[in-house]
């Protein structure tokens, strides 16, 4: 029997340090880096792309994963005993227009990591994504469902999964959905992008029929810690408890943040045009990971049930509720159970 204890504290990683976290530009990687740096000072390093010159600081390494020479140099210097790979390009349109770039970043990068750790005891946790599915079968995907991505991004993420499964079967692959946390520049994350539209009185149009299972980065961080400290291998879904459309996520940000509801619009994917292609209901079921761990690592996002939309005009109901950016920061960026 499993117990429900969201974001349970996890394993001591002293035997698997130093740790390298790749992909600091992403929400998952950025939040994980700061979480692990605080817990294991001086033993955690983060990789960011060379062209991301604005990101600097203690423990941040400038290196492109597809550059074998520079990647090998940092491995030789720091002798990493574990790697949390959160890297890759998730820019849907950019990937569609430049398959070569998407392949280099999303496939060759992990290929180089695999080559470096081959034959060693280095622990690898590789993040994939729910967009390996098309979302045309009604959602509720489990690990045995065959991937059928509609985007170049999703296709290259499937290729990356296959590389990991073939070349490092002892690794763990975690398919995540939308990571709900702060991005390094305040613009890159799902919450950040939507909130910035509303904050500066700009319209935001989100889809009624693209459905995800978002997760607090707080919960993801402790999940990563557990997996880095154990020996579970294979493919796991790591999506949250609540299925939400992108439009519903925007409703939550709009109302909890206290923003003017007139700036939120909704549409169906087909109304938005063919570029980039959009997936449908790619919600995931994460029972396998719960059974493997023996506890439920996921708090619902949003944590408070009253913040879950009940209809398409829900965000306009303000008579008994007063939202604010401060409330949003306290309840949507962070898991309130950990406050």
d(CA 326, CA 274): 37
**Kind and range of the H or E element at 174?**
strand 172-176
The gap from C-alpha 191 to its chain's centroid, in whole angstroms, comes to 12
**In 10 A of CB 231, how many CB atoms?**
8
CATH number of the 3-245+276-338 domain: 3.40.50.720
Residue 159 phi/psi, 5-degree rounding, is -60, -40
Q: Which residues lie below 8 Å from residue 305, measured CB to CB, with a gap of 6+? A: none
pLDDT of residue 185: 82
Q: Which of 164, 158, 182 is nearest to 83 (CA)?
A: 164
pLDDT of residue 6: 45
The reported pTM is: 0.94
Tokens of 178: 């939308």
d(CA 147, CA 157): 10
Local confidence pLDDT in tens for the 339 residues of the chain: 344 444 444 467 889 999 999 999 999 999 999 999 999 999 999 999 998 888 889 999 999 999 999 999 999 999 999 999 999 888 899 999 999 999 999 999 999 999 999 999 999 999 999 999 999 999 999 999 999 999 999 999 999 999 999 999 999 999 999 999 998 887 788 999 999 999 999 999 999 999 999 999 999 999 999 999 999 999 999 999 999 999 999 999 999 999 999 999 999 999 988 889 999 999 999 999 999 999 999 999 999 999 999 999 999 998 888 999 999 999 999 999 987
Q: What's the per-residue H, E or C state across 2-32?
A: CEECCCCCCCCCHHHCCEEEECCCCHHHHHH
Is the distance from CB of 172 to CB of 232 less than 8 angstroms? yes
d(CA 38, CA 44): 9
d(CA 32, CA 26): 10
Sheet strands (E) in 23-145: 44-48, 60-62, 82-85, 123-129
d(CA 333, CA 183): 10
Q: Which of 16, 123, 30, 112 is nearest to 71 (CA)?
A: 112
Tokens of 280: 């449908």
pLDDT of residue 11: 63
How is the chain split into domains, by residue range? 3-245+276-338
Is the distance from CB of 321 to CB of 258 less than 8 angstroms? no
Sheet strands (E) in 191-283: 204-207, 211-212, 215-216, 234-238, 244-245, 264-267
pLDDT of residue 215: 98
Is the distance from CB of 249 to CB of 194 less than 8 angstroms? yes
d(CA 284, CA 117): 30
Q: Which of 96, 80, 70 is nearest to 16 (CA)?
A: 80
| 3-state DSSP helix/strand/coil % of the chain, to nearest 5 | 40, 15, 45
332: helix, coil or strand?
helix
pLDDT of residue 326: 97
């Amino acid at each position: 029997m499993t117990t429900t204890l969201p974001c349970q504290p996890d394993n001591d990683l002293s035997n698997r340090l130093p740790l390298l976290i790749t992909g600091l530009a992403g929400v998952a990687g950025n939040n994980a880096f700061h979480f692990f740096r605080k817990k294991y000072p001086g033993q955690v390093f983060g990789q960011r792309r060379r062209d991301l010159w604005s990101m600097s600081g203690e423990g941040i390494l400038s290196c492109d994963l597809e550059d074998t020479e520079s990647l090998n140099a940092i491995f030789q210097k720091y002798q990493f005993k574990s790697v949390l790979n959160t890297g890759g390009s998730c820019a849907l349109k950019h990937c569609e227009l430049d398959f070569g770039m998407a392949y280099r970043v999303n496939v060759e990068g992990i290929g180089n990591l695999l080559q470096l750790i081959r034959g060693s005891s280095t622990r690898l946790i590789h993040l994939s994504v729910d967009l390996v599915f098309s979302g045309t079968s009604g959602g509720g995907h489990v690990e045995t469902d065959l991937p059928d991505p509609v985007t170049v991004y999703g296709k290259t993420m499937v290729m990356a999964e296959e590389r990991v499964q073939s070349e490092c079967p002892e690794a763990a692959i975690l398919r995540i959905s939308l990571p709900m946390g702060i991005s390094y520049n305040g613009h890159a994350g799902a919450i950040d992008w939507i909130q910035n539209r509303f904050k500066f009185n700009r319209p935001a149009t989100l889809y009624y029929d693209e459905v995800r299972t978002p997760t607090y980065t707080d919960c993801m961080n402790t999940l990563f810690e557990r997996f880095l400290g154990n020996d579970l291998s294979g493919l796991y879904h790591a999506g949250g408890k609540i299925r939400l459309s992108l439009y519903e996520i925007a409703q939550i940000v709009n109302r909890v943040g206290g923003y003017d509801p007139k700036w939120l619009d909704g549409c169906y994917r087909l109304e938005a045009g063919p570029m980039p292609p959009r997936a449908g209901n790619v919600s995931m079921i994460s029972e396998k990971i719960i059974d493997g761990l023996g506890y439920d690592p996921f708090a619902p996002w949003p944590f408070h049930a009253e913040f879950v939309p009940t209809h398409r005009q829900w965000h306009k109901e303000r008579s008994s509720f007063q939202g604010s950016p401060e409330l949003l920061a306290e309840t949507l960026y962070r898991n309130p159970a950990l406050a």
